[in-house]
Amino acid sequence: MTMTVTDYRSPLGDVRLAVRDGRLCAMAFRDGWPRLEQWLARRFPGVARTSGEAGEIRRRLDAYFGGELTALDQIGVDPGGTPFQQAVWAALRRIPVGHTTTYGALAREIGSPSAVRAVGAANGANPIWLVVPCHRAIGADGRLVGYAGGLDRKRWLLTHERALTQLI
């Protein structure tokens, strides 16, 4: 069993992707890759890493950044995580392009209304920052908060998805 690791140049900076069995397992900006690579080694011990292209995922990323905003919806993912994290990440994937939600609304959606901070922590642990769209989660007051890639990148993504006007 192997994992393909490839680099991708996005408008937000250089990104590294890890793909296993055709599904995206990890995605990080180059400066955040070492931490994610350690996590991948713990999650997939003994899995060989090869360089490759991850063609279909790259095509979908190109389409998304080129304006086909729903192109990411068809990317298969395997983010791992705890059952709670998986529930949060699945809820994030159900947020349509052009929309945002709050951490509180996500907590209610997964049936844990008092777990707002845990939802925030799950967002922070998301290993696939774009395809599992944690950038669509905002503060209860509509402010942009809590994005590992930085708030400028979060703002860029929401503007690209035409969601930023809903934050006012």
**Which residues are the active-site residues?**
134
Amino acid identity, residue 64?
Y
Query: How far apart (Å, rounded) are the C-alpha atoms in residues 113 and 119?
Result: 10
